[in-house]
């Protein structure tokens, strides 16, 4: 059986972003921006999203590289290290 692949990288990224965010968030964002101060809100919003996003991404990379396991195995190993 032949495996399906994406035709382009941009198509994959758009599909991944859309499924992660959800259509409701995309529709609601302009309203939230207008109610909360426009450009000032956008500046603070993107700074916070970037800061938290990069921090979480780097933590996930570090956990994955140090454990050399798949995500489930890595977090199971991390749970044991933290004593949870």
**Residue 73, pLDDT score:** 85
SS (H, E, C) the chain: CCCCCCCCHHHHHHHHHHHHHCHHHHHHHHHHHHHCCCHHHHHHHHHHHHHHHHHHHHHHHHHHHHHCCCHHHHHHHHHHHHCC
What is the C-alpha separation between 77 and 67, in angstroms, rounded? 7
Q: What is the pLDDT of residues 52-75, one digit of tens each?
A: 989 998 988 888 888 888 888 888
pLDDT band of residue 79 (cuts 50, 70, 90) is confident
Q: What is the pLDDT of residues 8-57, one digit of tens each?
A: 888 888 888 878 877 788 788 888 888 888 888 889 888 998 999 899 98
**Residue 32, pLDDT score:** 86
Longest dimension (CA), the chain: 53
């Amino acid at each position: 059986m032949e495996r399906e692949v994406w035709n382009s990288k941009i198509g994959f990224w758009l599909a991944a972003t859309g499924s992660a965010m959800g259509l409701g968030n995309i529709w609601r964002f302009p309203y939230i921006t207008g109610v909360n101060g426009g450009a000032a809100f956008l500046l603070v919003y993107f700074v916070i999203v970037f800061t938290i996003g990069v921090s979480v991404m780097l933590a996930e990379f570090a956990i994955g590289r140090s454990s050399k396991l798949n995500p489930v195995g890595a977090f199971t190993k991390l749970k044991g290290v933290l004593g949870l």
